[in-house]
A and B are shown apart, each in its own frame.
Chain A
Amino acid sequence: DAKTTQPNSMESNEEEPVHLPCNHSTISGTDYIHWYRQLPSQGPEYVIHGLTSNVNNRMASLAIAEDRKSSTLILHRATLRDAAVYYCIPHPIYNQGGKLIFGQGTELSVKP
């Protein structure tokens, strides 16, 4: 299983962009990079995933380094509701329904 390194915590101001980094230097060539977030007192929520190309959806954007050893989750305009713990999780392509391995994640706080 690939190991990930994320900052323990980050701060942002409301309505400003946020860039959440993740280092996954031991990632396998068959792993997607998944991002989940967990709001206070709730279960985790899927945010986005990608393999090699940058990805966008209604929640966020995912920028993946060319060597795939790191990625960045981008929230374009942070809101108070985005305050959560964000997890970066490499996950095998062939086992898309399999277990997720959660690390410590990054706790994002958003200031009004």
Chain B
Amino acid sequence: NAGVTQTPKFQVLKTGQSMTLQCAQDMNHNSMYWYRQDPGMGLRLIYYSASEGTTDKGEVPNGYNVSRLNKREFSLRLESAAPSQTSVYFCASSPPPGQYFGPGTRLTVT
């Protein structure tokens, strides 16, 4: 099993550009999540999907949209990137007891 995979690993965007971060899991998990981690901080939840076809806002959803394409895939879209969205983005999936995290995408917005 590959677990949780994320693409791309690194990305640099200019302010106002758009992009989609991809996440896929091969563990047949129902729930998937997107978090962001700013330097020296803990992770904060952006959006989550409890099951295929459902999505809900987390703590910091502004400026993002998500799509739960199927059970395996959960994408995060930045429609108009801003420097404040410079961060490391982590995707995760579960069921319990733990959440399984991907390796992250380092995004820089200039």
Residues on A facing B (Cβ under 8 Å): 32, 34, 36, 41-46, 49, 87, 96-105
Residue of A nearest to B33 (CB): A99
Q: How far is the CB of A101 from chain B (nearest CB, A)?
A: 8
Give the size category of B's interface with A. Answer: 20 to 34
Bound Cα distance A46, B99 (Å): 7
Whether B43 pairs with A100 at a CB distance below 8 angstroms is: yes
State whether the Cβ of B63 lies closer than 8 Å to any Cβ in chain A: no
Residues on B facing A (Cβ under 8 Å): 4, 30-31, 33, 35, 41-45, 48, 50, 58-59, 90, 92, 94-104
Residue of B nearest to A46 (CB): B98
Query: Nearest 3 CB-CB pairs, A to B?
Result: A46-B98, A43-B101, A102-B42
Q: How far is the CB of B89 from chain A (nearest CB, A)?
A: 10
Residues of B contacting A46 in the complex (Cβ-Cβ under 8 angstroms):
97-100
Whether A97 pairs with B95 at a CB distance below 8 angstroms is: yes
